Structure 1
Amino acid sequence: MPPRGKFSGRRGSARGRGGKFGRGGAKRSFGGAEKFHNTRLEDAEESGSESSGEASSDLKVDSEGSISDVEETPATTQPYMALMQSLERDSVSSAAPTTKRRKIDHPSPKQEVPPAANDENGEVSDDEERDVDHVEEPEEDPSNDVELENDNDDDDDDDDDIPDAEDPFETHFVNPDSNEYNIRLKGVTSNVHQTKQVEKNGWRMFRSIPGQTPDQTTQPPATVPGPSGLKLKHRLIETSNKLCPSFDRLEQVLYPITFSYQDLLFCGRNATNAGNLRRMTCLHAINHVFKTRDRVIKNNAKLAKEGETTDFEPRDQGFTRPKVLMILPTREAAVKVVNAICAVCEPDQQENRKRFDESYIDREVKFSADKPADFRDLFEGNDDDMFRIGIKFTRKTIKYFAQFYNSDILLASPLGLRMAIGSEGDKKKMDYDFLSSIEVVIVDHADALLNQNWEHVEYIFEHLNRQPRDAHGCDFSRVREWYLDNQAENFRQTIVLSAFNTPELSELHRCSKNWAGRVRVQPEYNGMIQELGLVKAKQTFSRFEAPSIADEPDARFTYFTSAIVPSLIKLAGRKGSSADAGGTLIFIPSYLDFVRVRNYFSTADAVESLSFGAISEYADVREASRARSHFLSGRHKVLLYTERSHHFRRYVIAGVRRVIMYGLPDNPIFYREIVGGFLAKSEQDMLLEPGRGSVRVVFSKYDVLKLERVVGSKRVGKMIRERGDTFDFI
């Protein structure tokens, strides 16, 4: 198992979300534990403060296997020989157009890097390390990819010079219909969308098309039975048919949306369908990269053939080379993506693959089979959430750890990419130009990213598709006009895959400016209250009123202290009774609310008789074990428990006889595990009489998304709108 760096580990992941860089900032701080919130990013910024630009140089592979996500830049070798070689190459290819300049300081195959470039252990020196993967590197011209040029004759691709008018790549990026595009662009600018809900294969689709085009929202996209119905590069068709000859009912819904370049928010990801979704997004990403690069190469060849007398002026490029960005939660997720990419394109060679495996793969078995499938899917393997890596494609080779400006696909965690961009406080060292020409963004396992630090994701999207500050060797005569018109975000496709929907994901989806429109796909929820197993517990849902979402936290706390706590105090007076306040678990989704409730139990005279313990995401193993032990023995009558501590640890807490949910969890599986699992364990341990457990849930109208997943889509409207404020389920 490779040793982890400063930013690794699940608890490290938890520390990214709160405080200065967490959800909601620190405006609602009520206790002392908030000081830990800034630890992770501040430490990261300190460690990278000496490096400039993209800051990718802060991680390297050393003899002990520490982690590096960038390509080592060789030292300049024999400038005279390099100059002579470049002149010789120029004389051979003098007929070709000089679109961009290529760096010539890389050693030729027969040259060796001078020993002075490395230390005695073969490691890159500190001074050189700071310059590794700088985003000042110019974009390479596709015509300079030797493998691509040499393999043209062996390629059996179909791609003739006549564009396919039905290919979404052509109609979206290359030759969009001007009338339709102008109408939709006006709709995007004025935020006018025509939205329609449709049902397909058991999934609810909410389609939104910008502009006054309501007829286009009435019908879902045509069904695609399998890969043969997609506009794929020929080199991908065979492998796609071999991997998945036909699509299942869900894939028939998602593939047409994905390959039509519409924005997609899918709210049904789970451990079962994760592999199929990953294959879909990787196939789409590679297909897009191949079509983009092949078009550039063919235009280069055409320009070289016709010479300077031609009137042919292709517009086939962006400002920089990277075209696809994949935001992932862990290194293990990156490994799964890389394996899916290799399965789809079947490269002849994989450069730096051994280094990738050493840095990203952790084969240690860390969890037993009793852990939930979704937990093992996320945290099994290398769960480090600080990484970024560039992947470069040639016709027969995949190169890992390519420098960002020479990469086609970027894989990164939110924290890793934010550190690469830099901080707003030091604009001179900031560099986000490598994100200027991103055309497809894939956010996988977005529900896991919500439990890291969602502000990092927002920060990344704020810096996508900005006009670059430097040219980076760009040939502006070949840049597509909509890039020059600062309309790149209107062409960018964003794909978000999550287990459930949240206000953060909805906001990200709603703010889409893609002229092709957006689609949200989610299931019809039966309600998690139907899946509690053999446990029969009375479940009471109590609604409180809040004048606005800004006042909702205060209204929730007031309702809790005035309506919930008095009943606990009353139970606490029943000494020796089986119905006393002992065994009360209070589940609190937000850490800021947790601090507020913890401080209340610590200082308020009204709850002096209620002894309590607490487990948050910041509690270490010993602290959590002690709190669980005291709760089971009855020394603590109340246990405060946060959602993120359950997300990162999945504790099975014994001794629970009563569950009070200060708020509903985002993840509906947690409701089943806490209500059904904890109470069932108490019944099995003879600590609770069957059917005597109870659940009290506090909710407001702003919890509609969470409530729908727990009580079901058919009940949620009634519970939000009815005049009554109490709803019982048995």
Structure 2
Amino acid sequence: MNDLTTTTKLLTLLNVSATQSGKRRRLYEEVLPAGEKLNKRKPVQFTAPDDDSSKEAEPSPTEKETDAIVVDDGHEGVADEDQGTSDPYETHFGIKPIDLTDSSRSQVDSRAWAITRTKYGRLGPLSISVPEGSNPPTSAATGETGLLERLKTPFKARQGKQPQEQTMYQNDLLSVLSTNRDVCLSSQPYEVQTCMREAISLHALNHVTKKRRRILKNNERISNATKADANASTPDDVQDQGFTRPSVLFLLPFRSSALTWFRALTCHTPSPAYQIENQSRFMTEYGLPPGAVDKLASAEPGTYPRDHVETFKGNIDDNFRVGIKMTRKSVKMFTEFYGSDIIMASPLGLRMSIEKEKGADFLSSIEIIVVDQMDALLMQNWEHVQFVFSHLNQLPKGSHDTDFSRVKPWYLDGHAAFLRQSILLSAFESPETRSLYNNRLTNVSGKIRNEKRWPAVEIPEGVNQQFISFDCINPKDELDKRFNHFTTQVLPAVLKSAVQSVNTVVFVPSSFDFIRVHNYFRKHAGVSFAVLSEYSTNQEISRARQAFFLGKKSFLLVSERFHFYRRYKIRGIRNILFYGPPDHPQYFPEFLSYPFLDDGVEASDITCKILYSKYDWFKLERIAGSDGAAELIKAV
């Protein structure tokens, strides 16, 4: 964004704000009554949560008036935990971030990154990118997490009750997160995912708490200055806010994911003194309906693949959004976005909210975004994720009662995206997630991603598998080249064989490719076939599976999204054509094992063909292993 556009928009916002008298401060920035100290200890009575989950607890007049005080009410005062200029929060999100320079912004814009590789504790090999010309990192992290003591103490106590390996993993992760660099973690073991979410939640809570404490401390300074001199101007160093209140965004695929992160957040809150308002309503709306049984979670181990259980247990509705307000003694669920500190939403839910309001001003001041289960988001609609990222940290269209004298300078300059910390979590990397990492993460402090060397997947011994390559120079032509090679080379060779032209499954990873292949079979292939897609009804699925197993249909077209959502075992397979390697590596050995569900099948009876190009590197690496994929790419 050029400086002229930025200046014009900000002048417009300032003019709008000036015309709204009495609305220069937000509700959580109210100036205290004269003679009253911010950190004065006051008795506050919290009512028990209403048993009726449909009702939101109404705060008493006392609570309304002292909400800003309750946030940091305590004997220690407001500033007792300030870390000083060495605090990672102050050095990155303070008034003058040390890494935000004209040079660093220029290097990020031109994608000029200096890349170093290192191995860091339990996180393993890491690739660290910083803008060229910046001081290269000597390690992945500083070793100092900068956690506030009132968060660190109960966290350490909680760590004492878990395995040492998980504690070491959390400490390494918190150390990396404290650098405020972007972090991309893929292929993390299931055993560490719970403790990983707890560490990231603690980092987010620490961020929100420090921001709130800074605001309240400056409120007190302004109040004291006003009492001393009624004509005193606002101090110059109280710029402590963004345009709007929300500063942390969790982007998640399902309601069950939101429930998981809610538990991770609230595990750091002291109990039973801490109150969670509207908790029963949240559990009702984001959990399973009363009386419902989760067949995935309740099934015996081994009945369903573990990754399928972890992804789909619980409420899998993908249209949701909820605001969360954090105070010192309560977590308030279902708060209005502009009064929230944290937003949890699915990409679809957030997009619908943006389009309904015709604006995304509540995303203008997001300083930390956590995107979890990107592998699941890929199976939904990746365009929604791109849409959300395109609306992050844009200059707002309205003033929203903003006190512009309190807005940090780099917000006014339109540089918020250069400081936002993005935390990306996925079971694997894909071209879409790597593109997001390369093009949407513009943190001037740098970015970190873990690297992994993949072993080859194990398949039944003796199965004849053939990797078929096609040449493609321009990635824009890859879709057409793949379709042309499949329809002119691979499929005709299969149809000429009496053995391979029956009992054949065609597995298509991309939904767009699936539609194209389906239309070709319908118009030109001249063979009987059935279809299993994510849009197939239960009756259609049953008929297709039965017709294929009985030999009434020679071919069965299967989309990866169908297998992702349904995970059916398919009988009657003797030949498998992979239109492209699957994104999920576990699907490859699964399909090669399905023929052995039938009696009397030998490994020599099974054929497998995999069509690939050099742009399938990520998928090939997870199937053939890092070394095997390198050899396959050389053959292209």
TM-score normalised by structure 2 residue count:
0.84
User: Does residue 235 of structure 2 align to residue 312 of structure 1?
Assistant: yes
User: Does residue 214 of structure 2 align to residue 281 of structure 1?
Assistant: no
Give, as a single letter, the amino acid of the residue that structure 2 aligns with 1:554. D
Of 364, 377, 400, the match for 1:436:
364
Q: CA deviation at 1:357?
A: 1.3
3-state SS of paired residue (1:209): strand
Larger deviation, residues 399-408 vs 170-179: 170-179
Alpha-carbon deviations, 1:341-391, whole Å to 9, x = none?
Answer: 110123611111111111111152233341111111121111111100000
Q: CA deviation at 1:706?
A: 0.8
Q: CA deviation at 1:521?
A: 1.1
Question: How many angstroms apart in 1 are the aligned matches of 2:382 and 2:329?
Answer: 37
3-state SS of paired residue (1:542): strand
Q: CA deviation at 1:273?
A: 2.8
Residue of structure 2 in register with 1:394 after alignment: 327
Question: How many angstroms apart in 1 are the aligned matches of 2:250 and 2:183?
Answer: 14
3-state SS of paired residue (2:317): coil
Alpha-carbon deviations, 1:124-163, whole Å to 9, x = none?
Answer: 9xxxxxxx9xxxxxxxxxx977244147452547943864
Question: How many angstroms apart in 1 are the aligned matches of 2:283 and 2:585?
Answer: 34
Residue of structure 2 in register with 1:195 after alignment: 115
Larger deviation, residues 162-171 vs 396-405: 162-171
Unaligned runs of 5+ in 1: 1-89, 98-108, 111-120, 125-131, 133-142, 424-428, 573-578, 726-730
Residue of structure 2 in register with 1:585 after alignment: 505
User: Does residue 114 of structure 2 align to residue 174 of structure 1?
Assistant: no
Question: How many angstroms apart in 2 are the aligned matches of 1:448 and 1:655?
Answer: 29
Question: How many angstroms apart in 2 are the aligned matches of 1:445 and 1:670?
Answer: 17
3-state SS of paired residue (1:165): helix
Q: Is the 8 A contact 1:325 1:441 kept in 2?
A: yes
Give, as a single letter, the amino acid of the residue that structure 2 aligns with 1:589. P
Residue of structure 2 in register with 1:216 after alignment: 136
Question: How many angstroms apart in 2 are the aligned matches of 1:92 and 1:563?
Answer: 77
Q: CA deviation at 1:233?
A: 1.4
Q: Is the 8 A contact 2:92 2:98 kept in 1?
A: no
**Residues 311 and 646 of structure 1, relative CA distance in 2, 3 Å threshold:** closer
- The number of aligned residues is 570
**Residues 584 and 252 of structure 1, relative CA distance in 2, 3 Å threshold:** farther
Of 400, 417, 420, the match for 1:489:
417
**Residues 559 and 250 of structure 1, relative CA distance in 2, 3 Å threshold:** farther
Q: CA deviation at 1:265?
A: 1.4
Residue of structure 1 in register with 2:260 after alignment: 336
Of 136, 155, 159, the match for 1:244:
159
Within 5 A, what are the aligned runs for 1:451-470? Answer: 451-470=379-398
Question: How many angstroms apart in 2 are the aligned matches of 1:643 and 1:185?
Answer: 40
Residue of structure 1 in register with 2:20 after alignment: none
Q: CA deviation at 1:434?
A: 0.7
Question: How many angstroms apart in 1 are the aligned matches of 2:472 and 2:395?
Answer: 42
TM-score normalised by structure 1 residue count:
0.73
Give, as a single letter, the amino acid of the residue that structure 2 aligns with 1:463. H
Of 663, 680, 683, the match for 2:580:
663
Residue of structure 2 in register with 1:513 after alignment: 442
Question: How many angstroms apart in 1 are the aligned matches of 2:536 and 2:425?
Answer: 30
Residue of structure 2 in register with 1:525 after alignment: 454
Residue of structure 2 in register with 1:23 after alignment: none
**Residues 564 and 149 of structure 1, relative CA distance in 2, 3 Å threshold:** same
Alpha-carbon deviations, 1:174-200, whole Å to 9, x = none?
Answer: 155647744322322332211123334
**Residues 689 and 189 of structure 1, relative CA distance in 2, 3 Å threshold:** closer
Larger deviation, residues 242-251 vs 387-396: 242-251
Residue of structure 2 in register with 1:10 after alignment: none
Q: CA deviation at 1:513?
A: 1.3
Q: CA deviation at 1:329?
A: 0.7
Residue of structure 2 in register with 1:258 after alignment: 177
Residue of structure 2 in register with 1:56 after alignment: none
User: Does residue 610 of structure 2 align to residue 690 of structure 1?
Assistant: no
Question: How many angstroms apart in 2 are the aligned matches of 1:283 and 1:321?
Answer: 19
Q: CA RMSD in A?
A: 2.8
Within 5 A, what are the aligned runs for 1:542-581? Answer: 542-572=468-498, 579=499, 581=501
Question: How many angstroms apart in 2 are the aligned matches of 1:436 and 1:505?
Answer: 23
**Residues 563 and 394 of structure 1, relative CA distance in 2, 3 Å threshold:** same
Question: How many angstroms apart in 1 are the aligned matches of 2:369 and 2:538?
Answer: 37
Identity %: 35
Residue of structure 1 in register with 2:74 after alignment: 154
Question: How many angstroms apart in 1 are the aligned matches of 2:174 and 2:328?
Answer: 25
3-state SS of paired residue (2:588): helix
Give, as a single letter, the amino acid of the residue that structure 1 aligns with 2:596. A
Alpha-carbon deviations, 1:31-74, whole Å to 9, x = none?
Answer: xxxxxxxxxxxxxxxxxxxxxxxxxxxxxxxxxxxxxxxxxxxx
Residue of structure 1 in register with 2:462 after alignment: 536
Give, as a single letter, the amino acid of the residue that structure 2 aligns with 1:523. K
Give, as a single letter, the amino acid of the residue that structure 2 aligns with 1:703. D
Q: Is the 8 A contact 2:72 2:327 kept in 1?
A: no
Question: How many angstroms apart in 2 are the aligned matches of 1:230 and 1:611?
Answer: 62
Of 588, 594, 606, the match for 1:678:
594
Q: Is the 8 A contact 2:95 2:408 kept in 1?
A: no
Alpha-carbon deviations, 1:484-517, whole Å to 9, x = none?
Answer: 1111111111111001111111111112111111
Give, as a single letter, the amino acid of the residue that structure 2 aligns with 1:198. T
3-state SS of paired residue (2:106): helix
Question: How many angstroms apart in 2 are the aligned matches of 1:151 and 1:703?
Answer: 51
Residue of structure 2 in register with 1:299 after alignment: 218
**Residues 145 and 642 of structure 1, relative CA distance in 2, 3 Å threshold:** farther
3-state SS of paired residue (2:506): strand
Q: CA deviation at 1:629?
A: 0.6
